[in-house]
Amino acid sequence: MEDELYLENIDEFVTDQNRIVTYKWLSFTLGVHVNQAKQMLYDYVERKRKENSGAQLHVTYLVAGNLIQNGHICHKVAVVREDKLEAMKSKLATIASVHVYSIQKAMLKDSGPLYNTDYDIVKTNLQNCSKFSAIQCAAAVPRTSAEVSQVQTSAQADSQTPNDTHAVNVPTINGHVSSTAKQPSPQPKGIMGMFATKSASKSQDTNKETKPESKETTIATTVSSKVSPKGSAMSNFFGKAAMNKLKVSSECEQPKEEKTVAKPSVSVTEPKSPPSAAVEKPGKKMEPVKIQQKDKRSRAKRMATSDNEEKEDENLKKKRRRIKRPQSDSSEDEDVSVSPTPQEAKPPLPSPEPALKIELEPATTEASTGGKKRKRKRVLKSKTFVDSEGCMVTEKVYESESCTDSEEEFIKSKLPAAHNQSTAAVRKEPKEDRKGLKKGTATASKANKQVSIMGFFQKK
């Protein structure tokens, strides 16, 4: 008997649980339309009073209507106790609505508890607070996180346009700098802190990159086209050797970016990774002091490790690193697992970056988004030369900062089993750099990271 069920429920809530049952609370609890909840409450009151006139039941009503006050018609909405209901109704010139607001066992002194009940039930149902409401708005559709980040990026870009019309005599570089700084604001601030003195061209490139990156459509072509202008822009700041290195790494980032694009869930990292990829190298140059210190440390470490390592050690370390890596970043794990298989098919060792490129291209779905998250901090340039296989090998002059760098290299160098140690060690560097830099950069950036305003609101 469905009809009786709600009566029993209300009875239980009011008498047994001694709750204050407001129409909203009932509507969410029973999952019914608010108007039905109001009617249910009314029905319950009527029946209860009919069968037992001495029932301990206190009712509050909502009265709304027009009130003549100071010469104008004021629309009044009031919650009143039952005993004041008629008084209120008589005050109103026209009554627009009357319905039961709440039922409770004890008499309420003031309306505070009513608010608390409603607040609690709304808080637990925040995501669908208007589900049982009588008004549905077609325009109120929550955006997906991808759209949100897109809007945020475009909002930041738009905020730059009034700049020109304003009485602010800012050189265009300033405007661009701020736009760079603003656009990746959803991204880790530590990275952006390094680009305080970036030039306009670089920021333009990053602008170009961040904007398309936030789209989910396959942007492989656009990304690839952007990689080349980025490379040329970067070349202004670095020598040819570094240029080559940048090209290589940007090429390998391109497939990375492709992968990222393909992966639908990483919308947040999408805007993160391209600017990270783009800016990390110049960023390294900009802040050599900080990085060099770390690099020196890690360089010393890596020298030591590379000197001592043997195949088994490598394997061990790789294995160790492998175990470590899933803990740090699950997406890196995918990278790890993906990398050995295609590479084993090719006995001659491609260089780490081209290797990454090759392995990434077939594996469309697996993206080492974790790898892209971690910014690489390469301060010095690296030389690129063509391998015997026709693949480009990148050698770094020195290594990157943290020990996690060696992880990447080790894993990659596992595949090229045939190579001699020195080249393997050297080739490890870029890989280590890439992956290790992620960790190094992550920790470094965390250390230097400016506390963002998001820190207050992250609990949510």
Partner 1 sequence: MFSEQAARTAQGLLAPPSAEASTFARVPISTYTNCSQHFRLGERSFNRQYAHIYATRLIQMRPLLLERARQKWGSGIAVRKLCELQTAEKCCIVGTLFKSMQLQPSILREISEEHNLLPQPSRTKYIHQSDELILEDELQRIKLEGAVDIQKLVTGTILALYGSEREDGRFVVEDHCFADLPRQLPRRGPSTDRFVLLVSGLGLGGGSGESFLGMQLLVDVVTGQLGAEGEQSCAAQISRVILAGNLLSQNTQNKDTINKAKYLTKKTQAASVEAVKMLDEILLQLSASVPVDVMPGEFDPTNYTLPQQPLHHCMFPLAGAYSTLQLVTNPYQADIDGVRFLGTSGQNVNDIFKYSSMEDYLEILEWTLHVGHLSPTAPDTLGCYPFYKTDPFIFTDCPHVYFCGNAPRFQSKELTGVDGQQVLLVTIPDFSATQTACLINLRNLTCQPISFSGFSADEDEGEMEISH
Report yes or no: 302 and 399 within 8 Å, Cβ to Cβ: yes
In angstroms, what is the minimal distance from the CB of 276 to partner 1?
A: 20
Minimum CB separation of residue 55 from partner 1 in Å reads 18
The nearer residue to partner 1, 78 or 397, going by C-beta atoms, is: 78
The number of CA neighbours under 13 Å toward the Cβ of 124 is: 9
Q: What are phi and psi of 42, to 5 degrees?
A: -60, -45
Indicate the residue among 101 and 238 with the shorter CB distance to partner 1: 101
Name which of 4 and 307 has its Cβ closer to partner 1: 4
In angstroms, the CA 384 to CA 277 distance is 18
C-beta of residue 424 within 8 angstroms of C-beta of residue 317: no
- For residue 70, with 0-12 CB atoms within 10 Å meaning exposed, 13-18 middle and 19 or more buried, which class applies? exposed
Give least dist CB 124 to partner 1, A: 11
Min dist CB 210 to partner 1, Å, is 17
The nearest distance, CB 24 to partner 1, in angstroms, is 6
Taking the alpha carbons at both ends of the chain, their separation in whole angstroms is 41
Q: Quote the least distance from Cβ 93 to partner 1, whole Å.
A: 10
At CA 145, angle to CA 141 and CA 151, rounded to 5? 80
Tokens representing 257?
Answer: 């970016």
| Separation CA 412–CA 431 (nearest Å) | 7
For 211, which DSSP code? H
Q: Give the dihedral of Cα atoms 223, 225, 230, 233; nearest 10 deg.
A: -170
When the beta carbons of 61 and 410 are compared against partner 1, the nearer one is 61
Give the nearer residue to partner 1 in terms of CB position, either 125 or 201.
Answer: 125
Q: Which is nearer to partner 1, 32 or 262 (CB)?
A: 32
Query: Between residues 135 and 289, which has the closer beta carbon with respect to partner 1?
Result: 135
Question: Residue 350 — left, alpha, or beta (φ > 0 → left; ψ -120 to 50 → alpha)?
Answer: beta
CB of 185 to partner 1, least distance (A): 9
